[in-house]
């Protein structure tokens, strides 16, 4: 691969075996300045700040008027992933590829694409083209010679194939194949759990730490799991059937319930069960509030996508509650827009479904609403069991569960944590009962309110 930052090397030679320098060396002083002016007139710009278009016309050996650009402007993550595909192609074709300046006299720039932790817990990153133009001669990327321009600055985000107008259809086919590859294993983020946030008003998607939440760890009534299975069928067993009947494979699930009953845990179980098939995007509060439409647009980058909007009532309110309702209006409009997409699942969680606008609950926005109840005594005993069985202590779980009337799953977990903090791995039924009844496992202030 040859890196070329200015217009003075490479490109079309002005005569067989003669370089620009050789011609200039043999010219008179007057001839040299005339050639320079001519060069700048033809190129419109001083030679050292060649634009990608000038780079392309020179390498493709075409007239500027015969240059065509086949562009893709997509969500920000797609640019990084396309950049990664470009990197792979550059490596594949090695020395034959010529890299040029992205314009404005700047050198080619590269960005880091974070791939998250590998099996050994080491953070993996790849360096991908950020802003540059690359020339691929005929017979490398395509039968015809082409240039690819990538620009990942958030205000210009562009991936374009520069070709001669006669090769425009070749460029279009190539761009389509690049876009297809976004949804294939060539996209290293596809099928994983990602975390979305907003920076500079623009969605950033990064790899989230692995989720290993499993169903067995979450004690919920059978009917809740049945509903979850119906929801998941749209992504798994019934997906092809729904699609073949033209009934749509999108689905929205609203999970409601008081704090600490396992809503977030449930969402993580669902995301973990879809790893490899669906890409999960966990939206943070900023992206839910400011960039929801962009977040859904990221589904174009990944194919089948699960969008998780946890604690949605923190950013959305009721239309009648007064105040700024623009985020609610945006939210409703965005969910309506999602219907045009395919294979998008949405799960939102809320402490209080009534605080959500009835329009948001309407079946076309959320197909299902599942309420997680407070755990009954048997569930509390089972949750205690999840935490206590590994310790092998002789504790009567059902008796303990009776002492924890009104406690959520999160409360039960906190009682066990408090016992471990006070007594280590060995404590008695009496000690655990004392902690449960004393209430000292509770934080003194209402953390939910003040933190």
Ligand X SMILES: Nc1ncnc2c1ncn2[C@@H]1O[C@H](COP(=O)(O)OP(=O)(O)OP(=O)(O)O)[C@@H](O)[C@H]1O
Cβ nearer to ligand X, comparing 104 with 222 = 222
**Window of 87-95, 254-262, 295-303, 335-343 that interacts with ligand X by CB under 6 A:** 254-262
Using CB under 6 A as the binding rule, whether residue 377 contacts ligand X is answered as no
Q: What is the distance between the terminal CA atoms of the chain, rounded to a whole angstrom? A: 53
Q: In whole angstroms, how close is the CB of 299 to Mg ion at the nearest point?
A: 23
Residue 410, contacted partner among Mg ion, ligand X, none, CB below 5-8 A by kind: ligand X
Of 186, 176, 206, 188, the closest CA to residue 89 belongs to 186
Using CB under 6 A as the binding rule, whether residue 371 contacts ligand X is answered as no
**Window of 11-19, 113-121, 263-271, 337-345 that interacts with ligand X by CB under 6 A:** 263-271
* Strand, helix or coil for residue 328: helix
Using CB under 6 A as the binding rule, whether residue 219 contacts ligand X is answered as yes
- Phi first, then psi, for residue 117 (nearest 5°) are -80, 140
* 154, 69 contact by CB (below 8 A): no
Q: What is the DSSP string of 220-250?
A: --HHHHHHHHHHHHTTTTTHHHHHHTT----
Using CB under 6 A as the binding rule, whether residue 375 contacts ligand X is answered as yes
Q: In whole angstroms, how close is the CB of 147 to ligand X at the nearest point?
A: 50
Of the candidate residues 86, 193, 383, 415, the single one contacting ligand X (CB under 6 A): 383
d(CA 315, CA 101): 43
d(CA 343, CA 268): 19
**Window of 80-88, 116-124, 243-251, 260-268 that interacts with ligand X by CB under 6 A:** 260-268
* 58, 147 contact by CB (below 8 A): no
Cβ nearer to ligand X, comparing 71 with 448 = 448
d(CA 242, CA 246): 6
Give me Rg for the CA atoms of the chain.
Answer: 29
Using CB under 6 A as the binding rule, whether residue 265 contacts ligand X is answered as yes
Q: In whole angstroms, how close is the CB of 281 to ligand X at the nearest point?
A: 18
Q: In whole angstroms, how close is the CB of 82 to ligand X at the nearest point?
A: 36
* 171, 146 contact by CB (below 8 A): yes
Using CB under 6 A as the binding rule, whether residue 370 contacts ligand X is answered as no
Please report, as ranges, the residues that interact with Mg ion according to CB under 5 A.
Answer: 263-264
- Interacting residues with ligand X (CB under 6 A): 218-220, 257, 259-265, 311, 351, 375, 383, 409-410, 413
């Amino acid at each position: 691969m040859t890196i070329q930052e200015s217009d003075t090397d490479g490109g079309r030679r002005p005569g067989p075996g003669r370089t620009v320098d050789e011609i200039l060396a043999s010219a008179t002083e007057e001839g040299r300045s005339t050639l320079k002016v001519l060069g700048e007139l033809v190129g419109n710009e001083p030679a050292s700040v060649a634009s990608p278009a000038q780079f392309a016309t020179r390498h493709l050996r075409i007239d500027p008027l015969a240059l065509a650009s086949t562009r893709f402007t997509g969500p920000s993550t797609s640019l990084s992933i396309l950049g990664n595909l470009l990197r792979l192609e550059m490596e594949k074709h090695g020395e034959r590829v010529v890299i040029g300046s992205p314009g404005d006299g700047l050198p080619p720039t590269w960005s880091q694409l974070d791939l998250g932790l590998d099996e050994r817990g080491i953070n993996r990153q790849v360096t991908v083209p950020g802003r540059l133009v690359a020339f691929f001669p005929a017979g490398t990327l395509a039968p015809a010679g082409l240039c690819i321009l990538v620009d990942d600055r958030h205000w210009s985000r562009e991936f374009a194939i520069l070709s001669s107008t006669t090769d425009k259809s070749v460029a279009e086919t190539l761009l389509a194949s690049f876009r297809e590859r976004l949804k294939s294993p060539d996209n290293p983020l596809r099928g994983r759990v990602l975390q979305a946030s907003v920076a500079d008003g623009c969605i950033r998607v990064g790899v989230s730490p692995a989720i290993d939440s499993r169903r067995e760890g979450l004690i919920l009534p059978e009917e809740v799991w049945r509903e979850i299975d119906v929801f998941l069928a749209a992504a798994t067993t019934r997906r092809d059937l729904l699609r073949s009947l033209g009934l749509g494979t999108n689905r929205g699930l609203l999970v409601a319930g008081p704090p600490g009953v396992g809503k977030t845990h449930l969402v993580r179980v669902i995301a973990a069960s879809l790893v490899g098939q669906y890409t999960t995007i966990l939206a943070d509060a900023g992206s839910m509030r400011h960039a929801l439409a962009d977040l859904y647009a990221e589904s174009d980058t990944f194919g089948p996508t699960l969008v998780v909007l946890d604690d949605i009532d923190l950013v959305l309110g009721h239309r009648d509650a007064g105040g700024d309702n623009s985020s609610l209006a945006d939210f409703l409009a965005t969910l309506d827009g999602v219907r045009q997409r395919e294979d998008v699942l949405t799960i939102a969680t809320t402490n209080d479904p009534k605080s959500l606008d009835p329009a948001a609950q309407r079946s076309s926005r959320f197909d299902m609403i599942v309420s997680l109840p407070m755990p009954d005594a048997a569930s509390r005993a089972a949750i205690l069991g999840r935490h206590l069985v590994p310790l092998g202590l002789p504790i009567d779980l059902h008796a303990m569960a009776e002492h924890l009337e009104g406690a959520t799953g999160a409360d039960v977990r906190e009682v066990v944590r408090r016992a471990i903090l006070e007594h280590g791995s060995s404590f008695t039924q009496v000690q655990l009962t004392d902690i449960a009844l004393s209430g000292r496992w509770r934080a003194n202030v209402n953390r939910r309110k003040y933190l």
